[in-house]
Chain A
Amino acid sequence: MNLEFSPEEETFRAEVRAFLKDKLPARLADKVRTGQRLSKVDMEQWHAILNERGWLANHWPEEYGGTGWSVMQRFIFETETAIAHAPRIIPFGLSMLAPVLIKYGTEEQKQHYLPRILDGTDWWCQGYSEPGAGSDLASLKTSAVRDGDHYIVNGQKTWTTLAQYADWIFCLVRTSNEGKRQQGISFLLIDMKTPGIDVRPIKLLEGDHEVNEVFFTDVKVPVANLVGEQDKGWTYAKYLLTYERTNIAGVGMSMALFDELQDISRSTWRDGRPVAEDPLFAQRMAKLEIDLENMKTTNLRVLDAAGAGHAPTAESSMLKIRGTEIRQEINDLMRRAAGRYAAPFIDEALDEGWNGEPVGPEWAGPAAAQYFNNRKLSIFGGSNEVQREIITKTILEL
Chain B
Amino acid sequence: MDFTIGEDRQMLADSLSRTLADKFDWKTREAAIDSDAGFSREVWNALAELGVIGALFGEDTGGYGGSAWDVGVVFGELGKALATGPFLGSLMAGKMLEAAGDEAALAPVIAGETMLTFGHEGAVEANGRPCPPATAKRNGDQWIISGRKGVVEYLGSADQVLVTAQTDAGLSAFLVDMSASGVEARDYPVIDGGSAGELTLTDTPATLVGEDGGATEALAAATASGLVATCWESIAVMDVLRDQTLDYLRTRKQFGIPIGKFQALQHRMATLALEIEQARSSAINAAANFDKDATTRDRFCSAAKYTAGKVGRLAAEESIQLHGGIGMTWEFPLSHYAKRLTMLNHVLGDDDHHLARYMALGQAAG
Chain A residues with CB under 8 Å of chain B are 129, 132, 134-136, 139, 158-159, 202-207, 211, 264, 267-271, 278-281, 284, 332, 335-336, 338-347, 357-363, 368-369, 371-372, 375-376, 378-380, 383-385, 388-389
Contact = CB atoms under 8 A, between A and B. Distances in A.
Contacts of B189: 344-347
Nearest to A210: B328
Given A205-B339, A332-B313, A368-B343, A361 B127 contact: yes
Contact of B151 (A206, A344, A358): A344
B283 interface: no
B335 interface: yes
Contact of B123 (A132, A338, A360): A360
B273 interface: no
Contacts of A359: 186, 188, 198
16 contacts: A202-B331, A204-B329, A205-B328, A206-B191, A269-B124, A269-B128, A280-B356, A339-B350, A340-B346, A344-B190, A345-B190, A357-B186, A360-B124, A368-B343, A372-B342, A385-B321
A206 B265 CA distance: 25
A368 B124 contact: no
A389 B262 CA distance: 11
A384 B322 CA distance: 10
B338 interface: yes
Contacts of B346: 335, 338-340, 342-343
Contact of B330 (A207, A270, A284): A207
Interface in B327-345: 327-331, 335-336, 338-339, 342-343
B4 interface: no
B352 A340 contact: no
Nearest to A378: B321
Interface residues on B, range: 35 or more
Contacts, number: 149
Nearest to A274: B128
Given A345-B188, A347-B189, A361-B125, 18 more contacts: A135-B255, A205-B335, A268-B128, A280-B355, A280-B356, A335-B346, A336-B350, A339-B346, A343-B151, A344-B151, A344-B188, A344-B191, A346-B189, A360-B198, A361-B124, A361-B128, A375-B317, A379-B327
Contacts of B350: 336, 339
A128 to B, nearest CB: 12
Counting from the closest, the 4 A-B pairs by CB-CB distance are A268-B128, A205-B335, A345-B191, A136-B254
Contacts of A379: 320-321, 324-325, 327-328
Interface in B123-164: 123-130, 150-151
Contacts of B125: 361
Given A332-B313, A340-B151, A362 B192 contact: no
B330 to A, nearest CB: 4
A376 to B, nearest CB: 6
A158 B331 CA distance: 14
Interface of B: 121, 123-130, 150-151, 186, 188-192, 196, 198, 253-256, 262, 264-265, 313, 317, 320-321, 324-325, 327-331, 335-336, 338-339, 342-343, 346-347, 350, 352-353, 355-356
A360 B339 contact: no
B196 A388 contact: no
Contacts of A335: 342, 346
B265 A375 contact: no
Given A267-B128, A336-B352, A361-B127, A341 B151 contact: yes
- Highest count of chain B CB atoms <10 Å: which of A269, A279, A340, A372: A340
A369 B191 contact: yes
A280 B352 contact: yes
Nearest to A137: B254
B112 to A, nearest CB: 25
Nearest to A265: B128
A375 B254 contact: no
A220 to B, nearest CB: 29
A360 B331 contact: no
- Highest count of chain A CB atoms <10 Å: which of B124, B130, B265: B124
A342 B325 contact: no
Contacts of B188: 344-346, 359
Contacts of A362: 126-127
Contacts of A159: 325
Contacts of A139: 254-256
Nearest to A135: B254
B151 A360 contact: yes
Contacts of B124: 268-269, 339, 341, 360-361
Contact of A269 (B129, B196, B198, B331): B129
A234 B256 CA distance: 19
B339 A372 contact: yes
Contacts of A271: 353
A159 B355 CA distance: 40
A286 to B, nearest CB: 14
A378 B150 CA distance: 34
B328 A267 contact: no
Given A281-B352, A345-B191, A361 B126 contact: yes
